[in-house]
Chain A
């Protein structure tokens, strides 16, 4: 298969996270120049991926990062807003500080990074902006109230940005993963007891009888980033092994 992202440039926030690492590796393997932007480099980056320290909540450093980038790259073809956190609490147990922090990262971070990337994205002749929503933006997991709310906000923002910037040649979509094997998922399981039996139960409730791996998500991100997806915009792409296609699975 030919390299589908040859000569493209890509900027991935959360690029050192569970899913972000897999996205950066795939982009590099497909021939793109890739920057993994994250608070710190916590995973080993694939060959061809460059790390840049980046905090999606800091407007000043976002501005300076894209100003620096403009000196190196004449255009940005792909922006992936994959930085995100999860707070495992009901609203009653969520402090205002936690609420503001998760919105600052998951929603405001997507807004700010996109805002300052737009001038460089406009110079691409085929720009693709990919946000991270979640199947939790559609249906709720227990004890994740603030997280669910941020993902709903990202979904609405995705459609709005697609509508506003489509005429400028920028496609905007969101990926909405279900259960994916990442540190975030391990943390979600962590409070509920025997992690191994829980994993099997989680697998069994999926029509595909497994939860996803970061590479499964990167496969779809790669397609949406590529020119094959040139007519795809304004959509929320759920990829969840069939989980949300079914109604509640009762223990009958």
Chain B
């Protein structure tokens, strides 16, 4: 039996990267899936996946998105708040416009989607927020991004305790996952290739993550197997944050 058979899911930011990985796995596990992004429907999105063009930082767009979920699915069982943006700046460099753009997607959108979707999870549901290891360990030059992911963890715990037992809410905190976002982070290094090799050496798993690694945990958390898991922020980083950042072998 497929693990998400008969369930309906909304995944934000499903055009590419982790979001797309989750969409693909949810489909293969039997779920009916809707996803969204700011642009038009991607050409390679499987036909059975519904697409809504939406800016999740915009309240009217979020309302339209959840209205469409109700119209198409009747009710929602799984919400994945995956859409996120990254700005590589310190606090001093960050403008008010940067703040609005980043917090709008990484924080406000997560709040608005939970607010809209919890009432349409008529038979309970599983909310999965994509956080980051940056919530608890800071990446340099990403001040507001780091802070936005700490918001995600705080909100995750709050939803778990306010809306359990009907709603379970957990976060996944990915480490370095090979997406366009990670490439952008390496690109700002003095020597991107050397930075990449150094980063690899700091992963006990010996590699960076793939979107499918994150999707595997999302499937488990979305499934009924995770019935006792709620209020947690599970890190999936190939072991990186288990080790100290000071590694004598890498001096």
* A residues adjacent to B (C-beta < 8 A): 1, 158-159, 162-163, 165-167, 169, 171-172, 206-210, 212-213, 216-217, 219-220, 222-223, 228-235, 237-246
Instruction: Let me know if B210 and A245 touch, CB within 8 A.
Output: no
Tell me which of A163, A210, A223, A231 contacts B243 (CB under 8 A). Answer: A163
Q: Does B228 sit at the interface, judged by CB under 8 A?
A: yes
Q: How far is the CA of A212 from the CA of B232 in the complex (A)?
A: 15
* B residues adjacent to A (C-beta < 8 A): 1-3, 156-157, 160-161, 164-165, 168, 203-206, 209-210, 213-214, 216-217, 219-220, 225-232, 234-243
Instruction: Let me know if A237 and B234 touch, CB within 8 A.
Output: yes
Instruction: Let me know if A219 and B226 touch, CB within 8 A.
Output: yes
Q: In the complex, which residues of chain A have a beta carbon less than 8 angstroms from the beta carbon of B219?
A: 228
Instruction: Let me know if B206 and A166 touch, CB within 8 A.
Output: yes
Q: How far is the CA of A245 from the CA of B169 in the complex (A)?
A: 11
Q: In the complex, which residues of chain A have a beta carbon less than 8 angstroms from the beta carbon of B234?
A: 235, 237
Nearest A residue to B216 by beta-carbon distance? Answer: A228
Instruction: Let me know if A159 and B164 touch, CB within 8 A.
Output: no
Q: With contacts A162-B239, A163-B243, A219-B225 known, is A171 near B205, CB below 8 A?
A: yes
Q: Could you list 11 further interchain pairs (A-B, Cβ under 8 angstroms) beyond the known A162-B242, A228-B220, A230-B205?
A: A1-B2, A163-B239, A166-B204, A166-B206, A166-B238, A208-B164, A219-B228, A228-B216, A242-B160, A245-B232, A246-B157
Instruction: Let me know if A163 and B242 touch, CB within 8 A.
Output: yes
Instruction: Let me know if B229 and A220 touch, CB within 8 A.
Output: yes
Q: With contacts A159-B243, A166-B206 known, is A207 near B231, CB below 8 A?
A: yes
Q: How far is the CA of A181 from the CA of B148 in the complex (A)?
A: 37
Tell me which of B165, B216, B242 contacts A233 (CB under 8 A). Answer: B242
Nearest A residue to B203 by beta-carbon distance? Answer: A166
Nearest A residue to B234 by beta-carbon distance? Answer: A237
Instruction: Let me know if A216 and B227 touch, CB within 8 A.
Output: yes
**The 10 A-B residue pairs with the shortest CB-CB distance in the complex, in nearest-first order:** A166-B204, A245-B231, A234-B242, A207-B164, A234-B239, A216-B228, A231-B213, A242-B231, A233-B239, A159-B242
Instruction: Let me know if B157 and A241 touch, CB within 8 A.
Output: no
Instruction: Let me know if B204 and A163 touch, CB within 8 A.
Output: yes
Instruction: Let me know if B230 and A234 touch, CB within 8 A.
Output: no
Q: In the complex, which residues of chain B have a beta carbon less than 8 angstroms from the beta carbon of A244?
A: 231
Task: With both chains docked as a complex, state the minimum distance between the C-beta of A172 and any C-beta of chain B, in angstroms.
Answer: 8
User: What are some 30 contacts across the A-B interface (CB < 8 A)?
Assistant: A1-B3, A166-B206, A167-B204, A171-B205, A171-B239, A206-B164, A207-B161, A207-B164, A208-B168, A210-B228, A212-B228, A216-B228, A219-B228, A229-B217, A230-B205, A231-B214, A233-B204, A233-B205, A233-B242, A234-B239, A234-B241, A235-B236, A235-B242, A239-B228, A239-B229, A240-B232, A245-B231, A245-B232, A246-B157, A246-B161
